[in-house]
Amino acid sequence: MSPTEPAEDPRPGTDQASGRPEDEAPEAAAETDTEPAEETDAPQDVWSARRDLWHHSPGIMLGSSAAIGGSLVGGDQHGVSGGRVVGDVIMGSKTEIHYGGWAGPAYASGDLPQDVLERLTALFAGCETFDTALGVLRTERVVVLTGAPFTGRRTAALNLLRQVGASPVRILDPDTSPADLPLELGSSQGFLLGDMITRRNQPLRESHLRAVQAKLAEHSSYLVITAGLHTSFEDTVRTTEWKPPAPEEVLRAHLGARVTEDEAGALLRLAATRDFLARQHQLREVVAFSQELAAYARGERRAEELERFSLTAVEQQVQEWFDDGTVSLHDKAFLIALAAFDEGPYALTAELSDLLYGFLLNIEEGGVRARIPVFGTSIAKRLQLARARRYPENEHTEWGPVRQMKSAFLDDRTPMALLVEVWTGHPSSRPALVRWLKRLAEDGRPLVRNRAAATAAVLAAADLPSAMALLIEPWAAARRYRFCLAAANALTLAHLLDTPNIPRILHDWCTEESGRIRWTAIRAYALLGPEMPEVALAALSGAARKVDAEAADGEEAEELVHSTAVLLLSGAGPTVLSRLAGFLQDEQSVRGLALRAFLEACTRAEDDVDEARPALLAWYARAAVTPGVEDDRLLVTLWRAALSERAHTGVALDRLRDWVRQADTDPESEAALSALLPSLAVAGPDHQRLSHLLRTVPGAHGGPPPSVAARLLATLTPALPTARS
């Protein structure tokens, strides 16, 4: 086995069927040197693999300008915002945001000083939810606020207490058990229990709240409880869902206390402010941004710093998740999986996050088996923690679109920022990530395989040497084509992320001794070639010479043909067509590559839509009526060469028969063939060959001859026309 072969992980046992990955003992999990006894897969054809990559890659990676289906890059630069945003995410930030607030150690529990209470509530922006909660508090003396973290629940709670005149306010310990809660209520007028922590088997019950109400009534006191991610309560407990005010209202309120009204209006009109508000930022981030805007108004901040603030907030949130000891390893595994499968089916993300959790736990606990509750995981709380959403949408499958419940981060920059943080900021997780991505790369589902490649691409953009050594090179050298395809896709997507040196890697790999590595480079050129057609064709023709010297056919030779055909039908088609016509004067291996690729391209329909016109025939028709374009002449040159060369004549005639049958139901195709066929009959043998084809062409599925054949035959009969020169 090659030292770069991805070692086979032991397959999960019976627990895997229930969604609980077995985490093997360290010795069982170690990489092995055993190679599969036989090849277990065949390479996916380049056309469907390209389609899968386009359908299943994260949207932020491809952007609106990139199009692997057809022309790889069209319009502005690839990536997001011309690669600038992606580059910023990959490079990271040196800035740290210091969030103001009262939730620090000094106010974790105990009496909250009156001046602090007034300062924290002075800039509060009210909303309809606040009015509802206030009504409940006045009548019930206790209100339970639910909602996502960092949405202003605690500031709202303090304002609720202030509105009912409950002062002083005492902050209660979040670990206070529901049964002990009445005992913690002393003589203070107001109490706040923030992000109450309860055990699953000891939830907050209605009976607890009745006891609390009685105690509060004794002293005319009030209590606000905010329910966090770790709060369990019975369904009978009355809660009020906190829906915060609009970020713009909060920002306006805070700016009003820091700058003049005219300055506030100007700051709110800044492009950086509009971009910031377009993102779904937490209210603590909105407050911090108001401070940055005020500093900008005083000349203490540059415009670039304002523009960067939004992304910095995303990066800091990611760092908090992985630095926070209260976020479980299971939840951290889910965050990583969600980053890899952003905009993918939620159930798939959850399934594969459990697999990753087993690998991470094996590192952290040294061989402890991962025990995952089959039921009881709250989807809503998971997505709250992740600042993500769930929504229904069609997912592309091999059987067609299928309706799925998907999940995605609210901010589309979060996935990349998270993956970069884990890979570069927490390198101890790398062995688990490598094992996990290897398992994903060999999965039977195209979505899973392509997301493994996309994740590897992000890691390569952040740290190319490590990603190449640990992931992409072992995949490229593997015996199984699924790994090779994952490597090719990873390099393709890494290039879209502006990762340097990808063209050099592919160039070097095309001359590697390892056939699998050469195959990987050839497949990658099919995807990236439209951006650099001259480089791609030079590499592919060089590989053709090497393949011809070693073996006349095989998977590598087929891959060369298909990759070249993809380039011919890409946005770089005119350049590729000219080069292929030039290849006809080259040595036999290169000439053969040009003709086989041309004939392969003849099988593809326009836009890969079934029953559509053949793509090359449509191209010929357009070129024939376009002044100053000689593509039609070059297409005729390739047709003549294919028809006249014994090794390719049979296939070329088959392709023409297919075109004739398609033209039987398409007048535009018939018109194009009526112009093309006479230009191919330049000599007696050519005329006889094409006439025989049109007289004998069978209909589809062995049916009667297509009626269009007789009409096309009539275009050959009058004379033997000479092709346009």
Q: What confidence tens digit (pLDDT) does each residue in 642-677 have?
A: 999 999 999 999 999 999 999 999 999 999 999 999
Q: Which residues pair with 143 in a beta bridge?
A: 224
Confidence at 120, pLDDT banded by 50, 70, 90: confident
Q: What is the pLDDT of residue 471?
A: 98
pLDDT tens digits for range 185-225: 988 889 999 888 887 778 899 999 999 999 999 989 999 99
- Asked if 132 and 267 sit in the same domain, the reply is no
Residue with tokens 């480079």: 521
E strand or H helix at 37 = none
The answer to whether residue 574 is domain-embedded is no
Please tell me the distance from the alpha carbon of residue 630 to that of residue 622, in angstroms, as a whole number: 11
Query: For residues 439 and 337, is the Cβ–Cβ distance under 8 A?
Result: no
CA nearest to 568, candidates 620, 627, 501: 620
How far, CA to CA in Å, does 603 sit from each of 596, 658, 678? 11, 8, 21
Looking at the fold, whether 171 and 309 belong to one and the same domain comes out as no
For residues 391 and 446, state if they share a domain. Answer: yes
Q: Which two tokens stand for residue 134?
A: 């206030």
Q: Which of 53-57, 112-116, 130-134 has the highest mean pLDDT?
A: 130-134
Among 321, 337, 354, give the residue marking a domain's end. 321
The answer to whether position 704 is within a domain reads no
Higher-confidence residue of 311 and 684: namely: 311
Is 98 inside any structural domain? Answer: no
Which residues are bridge partners to 226 per DSSP?
A: 145
Position of tokens 């949207």? 59
pLDDT for residue 67 is more than 50: no
Residue 465 falls inside a structural domain: yes
Q: Supply the pLDDT for residue 561.
A: 96
**pLDDT for position 618:** 96
- As a whole number of angstroms, the distance between CA 283 and CA 665 comes to 61
The answer to whether residues 442 and 293 belong to one domain is no
In a domain, 490, yes or no: yes
Give 187-197 pLDDT, tens digit per residue.
Answer: 888 999 988 88
* Residue of 655, 563, 650, 585 whose CA lies nearest to 616: 655
Q: Who wins on pLDDT, 173 or 59?
A: 173
Other CB atoms within 10 Å distance of the CB of residue 505:
23
Instruction: Identify the domain boundary among 444, 473, 500.
Output: 500
Whether residues 137 and 61 fall in one domain: no
Q: State yes or no: pLDDT of 146 exceeds 70.
A: yes
pLDDT band at 87 (very low <50, low <70, confident <90, very high): low
pLDDT confidence of residue 366: 76
Q: Say what the pLDDT of residue 103 is.
A: 41
91 pLDDT tier (thresholds 50, 70, 90)? low
Query: What are the backbone angles phi and psi of residue 531, rounded to the nearest 5°?
Result: -85, -25
- Is the N-terminal amide bond of 168 cis, ω within 30° of 0? yes
Q: Report which of 87, 89, 56 is spatially closest to residue 453, judged by C-alpha positions.
A: 56
Q: What is the pLDDT of residue 292?
A: 96
Are both 231 and 203 inside the same structural domain? Answer: yes
Report the alpha-carbon distance of residue 588 to residue 580 in Å, rounded: 13
Q: With bands split at pLDDT 50, 70 and 90, how would you rate the model's confidence at 82?
A: very low
Does residue 383 carry a pLDDT above 60? yes
Q: Distances from the Cα of 119 to the Cαs of 101, 192, 254, in angstroms?
A: 10, 17, 12
**412 and 461 co-located in one domain:** yes
Given this model, what pLDDT does residue 13 score? 35
What DSSP letter does each residue of 201-231 carry, written as one string? TB-B-HHHHHHHHHHHHHHT-EEEEEE-TT-
Q: Return the pLDDT at 347.
A: 95
Which of 208, 189, 188 lies closest to 198, judged by CA? Answer: 208
Cα gap 494→29, rounded to integer Å: 29
Residue 260 per-residue DSSP state: -
Helix residue ranges per DSSP H, 108-205? 114-121, 128-140, 153-163
Residues 393 and 488 in one domain: yes
Q: Are residues 78 and 38 in the same domain?
A: yes
Residue 442 lies in a domain: yes
Q: How many domains does the chain have?
A: 3
pLDDT for 58 beyond 60 = yes
pLDDT at 197: 84
The predicted structure's pLDDT at residue 504: 95
Q: Which amino acid is at 718?
A: P
Residue that wins the pLDDT comparison between 197 and 692: 692
Q: In this structure, is residue 337 part of a structural domain?
A: yes
Domain's final residue, options 265, 299, 321: 321
What percent of the chain shows pLDDT beyond 70?
85
pLDDT digits (tens, 9 = 90+) for 566-603: 999 999 999 999 999 999 999 999 999 999 999 999 99
Helices (H) then strands (E): counts for the chain: 34, 9
**Helix/strand/coil (H, E, C) string of 268-287?**
HCCHHHHHHHHCCCCHHHHH
**pLDDT for residue 553 is more than 90:** no
Structural domain boundaries enclosing 468 = 1-89+326-500
pLDDT above 50 for 49: yes
Task: Tell me, yes or no, whether 7 and 69 share the same domain.
Answer: yes
Mean local confidence (pLDDT), 130-142: 94
Per-residue pLDDT tens for 304-316?
A: 999 999 999 999 9
Share of the chain above pLDDT 90, in %: 63
Q: Can you tell me the mean pLDDT for 238-263?
A: 92
Q: Are residues 379 and 269 in the same domain?
A: no
pLDDT tens per residue across span 334-376: 999 999 999 999 999 999 999 999 999 999 887 667 677 776 5
8 Å CB contact between 638 and 594: yes
pLDDT at 139 over 80: yes
Confidence (pLDDT) at 548: 66
**Contact criterion met (CB below 8 Å) for 660 and 680:** no
Q: Give the residue from 593, 459, 227 showing the smallest Cα distance to 601.
A: 593
Asked whether residue 4 carries a pLDDT value surpassing 70, the answer given is no
Is residue 85 scored above 90 in pLDDT? no
Contacts of 68 by beta carbon, 8 Å cutoff, 6+ apart? 50, 53, 54, 57, 62, 492, 527
Greatest mean pLDDT range, 16-20, 161-165, 297-301? 297-301
pLDDT at 88 (0 to 100): 65
The values of phi and psi at residue 391, to 5°, are: -155, 150
- To the question of pTM greater than 0.95 for the whole model, the response is no
Residue 174 in this model has a pLDDT that exceeds 50: yes
DSSP letter for 96, please. -
Average pLDDT, the chain: 85
Write out pLDDT tens, residues 457-495. Answer: 999 999 999 999 999 999 999 999 999 999 999 999 999
pLDDT, residue 443, reads 94
Residues 466 and 390 reside in one and the same domain: yes
Task: Classify residue 552: in a domain, yes or no.
Answer: no
